[in-house]
Structure 1
Amino acid sequence: MALTQQFARVTNEYLDTCRTSALDSSGGSPGWDPPDGDLLDTGWALWGLIRYCRSTGADPQLTALLDRAVSGDPGGDVGFLDHDEVYDGFGDPPRLLAPTAVADIAAALDRVRLGDLLADLPASTEVAAAVCGFGAGFDGDVREHLTEHFVAVREFYRAAARHTQCVVTWVD
């Protein structure tokens, strides 16, 4: 099974409910079940975009922004989500981005000029996939793949910011 980058948009109230559930449950179950419309799976795409940015010497602030968007912030009171109901336990437990951080990330993602960033992406699928760390088995248009998932993440963060929601990130 491949690892993928996961996101959930949730309210502070929802997190409080999950926290209470975890405390009240003998197995620590947080009752984690955000609506499908508030979940996003970006596969490996954003990791590939981050790798591409690092390999091309893109603005370190952009790389840090993308890394923060997928990794969340340290701290945050979401230890109760370190449960197999939420993620499979491979890698770090879920991390939180509070509404203020979500709004900052959404605004910064809106300023990214993706076309300019990807202007030097190799035209060859094989070479572009290698630069992004996708490997020889990648099938499809790398630029299209990166763009599709970047746009999805940008829209996801926009909606979360608009509704003053938190974003929880994890690898599953």
Structure 2
Amino acid sequence: MAVTQQLARIPEGYLAACRQAAAASPDGDPRWDPPVCDMLDLDWAPALLKRVGEVAGLGEVPLDALRLATDGDTALELGFLDAHPHAIAHFGGAPTGLDVSQVARVSELLGQIDMPALLATLPADDSDAASLIGQVGSIAGGLRAYLLEHFNALRDFYVDAARRRLHIVLWWD
């Protein structure tokens, strides 16, 4: 099984309930089980999306927003999600998250990124483009289609989270 980036849109009340459950449980079980409709699997696209932004000369503010959208931040207290035996990030670092105000700002900035234009700056040959951004191997359906699909999913995920005033929790699993 491949290690992929996971995101979840979470209301503050849900995080509070998980913190309380972890504190009350003898083994620290937070009862973390976000609804599937509020989860996103970004596969291994985050590093490639950031690299496209770097190579294409995306401005520092939108590039930082893309980094924050895929790396998260430590502003939310998520230690209860990183405790054995119920840690959610089995194969990565500790879970990170963005609070409601960070989600709103990232959503706004992701909406300003013209990913098709960034992808158009890559070499026309897929193998040359893949080499430039650090992609090893081929991607079914093509590199550009893969990156555009994952960027659009990320942007839309943040737009919905901002509209609903939700936090976002990120981890690798």
> Shared fold by TM > 0.5?
yes
Partner of 2:6: 6
Identity of aligned residues (%): 39
Aligned positions of 1:47-66 closer than 5 A = 47-66=47-66
**Residue type at the aligned position of 1:159:** D
* CA distances 1:9-39 after superposition (whole Å, capped 9, x unpaired): 0100000000000001111111000000000
Displaced runs of 4 or more, over 4 A = none
* CA distances 1:86-115 after superposition (whole Å, capped 9, x unpaired): 524333211110011101111111111112
Partner of 2:41: 41
Partner of 2:74: 74
Partner of 1:150: 151
**Distance (Å, rounded) in 2 between the aligned partners of 1:137 and 1:23:** 45
Contact 1:122 1:128 in 2 (8 A): yes
**Distance (Å, rounded) in 1 between the aligned partners of 2:162 and 2:42:** 19
**Distance (Å, rounded) in 2 between the aligned partners of 1:56 and 1:114:** 10
Partner of 2:101: 100
* Distance apart, 1:127 and its partner CA: 1.8
**Residue type at the aligned position of 2:7:** F
Alpha carbons of 1:113 and 1:165: their partners in 2 closer, same or farther (altered >3 Å)? same
1:111 counterpart SS class: coil
Alpha carbons of 1:66 and 1:49: their partners in 2 closer, same or farther (altered >3 Å)? same
Partner of 2:27: 27
Partner of 1:126: 127
1:118 counterpart SS class: helix
Any stretches of 5+ residues in structure 2 without a counterpart?
A: none
Any stretches of 5+ residues in structure 1 without a counterpart?
A: none
**Distance (Å, rounded) in 1 between the aligned partners of 2:166 and 2:39:** 13
